[in-house]
Every structure is written in C-alpha cells, then in structure tokens.
C-alpha cells in the first residue's frame, strides 16, 4: 500500500496511544519504552525513531516543577508532618513521571515521523 493512502493522523492522536504514526493501528512500543522494529499492521520501519532523552526531560521538568512547587506550597500553607511531604513527593516525583513517560515519548516519536525529522549533519 502506498504511503499516500493512509489517513493523516495527528502525532498527538497516535503518539499518546503508542500507535503507529502512519496507520494508527500497529503498536509503536515492544515494551514499556523500547520501540518496536516496525509496525505489524502497515510495515513502517521505526528506524527513524530517535528516542533520546527528550521525553524524560519534558516529563521530569513538568513533574519537578509541580511536585516541588506543591511540596513547598503545602509546607508554607499547612506545615504538615514529614510523611505528608513523602507521600506528595512519591506521587509527583515518581508515579507521575512513570505514567507520563511512555505517552510523551510516543508523541515525540510520532512528531519525528510526521515532520521527517533527522539528526543534523554537516555537508
């Protein structure tokens, strides 16, 4: 099947669900964060995928700003015991990044495919 016969999915639509950016059906990931070799549905090779640290950087930036901000805000407003801070820290600084990492990585990989992004090279 020619590439022009596939619908134009948004990277957000396919990436956040971990689906193939071309057909929207096949799985983008083999494991939690390991990218599959190709789409089982349309055969698109995922060799273009450069996961890097982009997803981790964005997720940790978000989680740390809200997590540390929440911990400091609660401390200033209520001065709770340390276990409350540990509970908030566990949720914001551990659980939320684990939940967001895969969808954000999928979004970035789908965006790479959509824009035909490649590593910079000097001519």
Average pLDDT over every residue of 80-91 = 91
Span 79-98, mean pLDDT? 91
C-alpha to C-alpha distance for 12 and 104, rounded to whole angstroms: 9
* Domain segments of the chain as ranges: 3-112
pLDDT at site 31: 94
Q: Quick check: pTM over 0.75?
A: yes
As given in the structure block, the two tokens for residue 90 are 């566990």
pLDDT of residue 4: 59
CA distances from 15 to 11, 29, 35, 95, 100 (A): 5, 10, 12, 20, 12
Residue 22 in this model has a pLDDT that exceeds 90: yes
Looking from the CA of 88 toward its CB, the CA atoms found within 13 Å total 18
Strand partners, 38: 45
């Amino acid at each position: 099947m020619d590439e022009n016969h596939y619908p134009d999915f948004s990277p957000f639509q396919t990436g956040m669900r971990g689906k193939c950016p071309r057909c929207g059906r096949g799985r983008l990931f083999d494991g939690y964060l390991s990218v599959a070799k190709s789409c089982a549905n349309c055969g698109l090779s995922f060799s273009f995928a450069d996961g890097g640290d982009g997803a981790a950087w964005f997720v940790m930036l978000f989680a740390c700003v809200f997590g540390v901000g929440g911990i400091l805000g609660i401390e200033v407003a209520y001065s709770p015991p340390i276990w409350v801070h540990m509970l908030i820290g566990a949720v914001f600084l551990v659980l939320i990044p684990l939940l967001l990492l895969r969808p954000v990585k999928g979004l970035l990989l789908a965006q790479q495919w959509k824009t035909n992004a490649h590593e910079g090279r000097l001519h």
